Amino acid sequence: MSPAAQGASVAGRRRLIGVVVVSGIASGLTGPLVSVAAVHLGAGGLGAGVAVAILQVPVIVLGLFGTRWLPRLPLRRTVTCAVALGAVGAGVAAAGSYPLLLTGRFAQGVGVVLLLGTAGYALVAREGRTGRGSGFGSFQAAWFAGIAVGPVAALLVASAGGDLVRATFATAAALAGLLAIVAALVLRDGPPGPRPQWGRPRGARPARRELLLSGAGQATRSGLAVTIVPLVGADRQLTGHQLILAVTVLGAVDVAAMLIASRLPRRVDRRVAMVLACGWGVLALILLALARTPAQFILACAVLGVTVGSTWVLPGSLVLDRALHVEAAFSWYRLSCDVGLLLGALAGGALAASGPSRALWLWTLPLLATAVLACTIRSRGPGLPPSYPPAARFTAKTITAKTITARSTTAKTATAGTTTAGTTTAKTPQETTSQEVVP
């Protein structure tokens, strides 16, 4: 077991979740305002999408080549470093120029991948085999509960007057800096585990369609909830307080949906739940497009939160609950999510360039495509579809010609028997040969 998993003891788990929640608050202070800040700094719709997406660049790079490095890092020091990087990134982004906004978002991305790779894996690894999706759902719910509270804190900052964007980024930097000190004091490392190694995931890879579904769920979040919806609100002349309230309501429903979807009974087919979530999302987009008052817009955001939260955690249950190699499965799942977040933000920005309201209607196509993809995942019986092909598709270690010859000779000996001092004994192949099945 890795140091991260060992460090997340029963007592330390609550402290870890507390750190994750507060870190989410610091992220939630700035996250919903990134696209709006980019537009105010002179960038267009595509530039706003780039500002949202650039956070995923270090996440993807470290997620691809650090899959056997991140989960094995010491929990306390890594989480402290992750939160401190978030503070530095928010402080740089508060400087008030588009290049510095991108630089700060990149630094925040490094902090996010460190937090996901250690704290997220710690909560996954401590669960039983069928509870890994629930374990990661707990991490996601804690993270996004903080993000949902973040806009409320932004409202308090806005009530003090001044530049809303700059003030919220500065407040996020101060909060994350304080949290880094607290994390260094309250978290604990576990005993030394496997040596961290730099490289791609090693072990069985989950089914491609399930990974594609995971990425599609993340694209809905970054492209729709984080990029298009705030731009639609700004385009319809919502005040800063009204826009933050709408994002807060969306986030609150989002977190509730994540908690419920990650704890569905095993008899509930996650594929069917994913299709229903996408259909609900289409309804939410229609309501958003037809909303004419701030109250209608906020209500439509609440409806959309169900889809955003469900499409995040349901693919995770498909991948993690049947994983044969949890470290590899977690790494592949996170990588597919990060790619989906990046592509979703870029796609959302590109669609918003043609007009935020038109982008809402166009996003119904990705939602319908996600529903179709969920229908194509095969299931073997009720409950969760398996994340991996049948066990027969996992190959054993290569057996050399010498081993085959020895096995043949042993089999003949076992059949004929060996007589020693009047006693006949039969040796079985299992006494002299063995076969190890590895993912």
What is the phi/psi pair of residue 423, to 5°?
-110, 130
Q: Show Cβ contacts of residue 7 under 8 Å, excluding neighbours closer than 6 positions.
A: 16, 74, 75, 76, 122, 187, 188, 189, 190
- 124, 132 Cβ separation under 8 angstroms: yes
pLDDT of residue 349: 86
Q: In this structure, what token pair is assigned to residue 23?
A: 């870190």
Nearest to 28 by CA among 178, 269, 201, 250: 250
pTM for the whole thing?
0.65
Q: In this structure, what token pair is assigned to residue 155?
A: 């409202």
What is the phi/psi pair of residue 7, to 5°?
-70, -25
What is the number of H-type helices and E-type strands within the chain? 20, 2
**C-alpha–C-alpha distance, residues 292 and 173, integer Å:** 35
**C-alpha–C-alpha distance, residues 290 and 311, integer Å:** 23
**C-alpha–C-alpha distance, residues 225 and 236, integer Å:** 16
Residue with the two structure tokens 């579809």: 385
| CATH value of 3-188+203-375 in 1.10.2020.10, 1.20.1250.20, 3.40.50.410, 1.10.150.120 | 1.20.1250.20
pLDDT of residue 422: 42
Block means of pLDDT (10 residues each) for the chain, length 439 residues?
A: 50 79 86 80 82 84 74 84 92 86 91 82 57 59 75 73 76 91 83 65 75 90 88 85 85 86 82 93 94 92 93 82 67 82 88 87 93 81 40 35 44 44 41 34
Q: Largest Cα–Cα distance of the chain, in whole Å?
A: 100
pLDDT of residue 345: 86
> What is the sign of the dihedral through the CA atoms of 110, 218, 349 and 90?
negative
pLDDT of residue 197: 65
C-alpha distances in Å from residue 284, one per residue of 87, 186, 266, 309: 34, 42, 27, 13
| Amino acid code (one letter) for 435 | Q
Element (H, E) at 241: helix 240-261
The single-letter DSSP state of residue 317 is H
- 370, 209 Cβ separation under 8 angstroms: no
**Cβ atoms within 10 Å of 420's Cβ, excluding its own:** 8
What is the phi/psi pair of residue 211, to 5°?
-70, -40
pLDDT of residue 364: 92
pLDDT of residue 417: 45
Strand partners, 424: 419
- 155, 244 Cβ separation under 8 angstroms: yes
- DSSP-H helix ranges across 31-74: 34-40, 45-53, 56-65
Q: In this structure, what token pair is assigned to residue 37?
A: 């800040």
**C-alpha–C-alpha distance, residues 48 and 35, integer Å:** 5
pLDDT tens per residue, range 193-205: 667 666 666 666 7
Q: Show Cβ contacts of residue 325 under 8 Å, excluding neighbours closer than 6 positions.
A: 203, 204, 439
Phi-psi region of 381 (alpha: psi -120 to 50; beta: other; left: phi over 0): left
**C-alpha–C-alpha distance, residues 381 and 372, integer Å:** 20
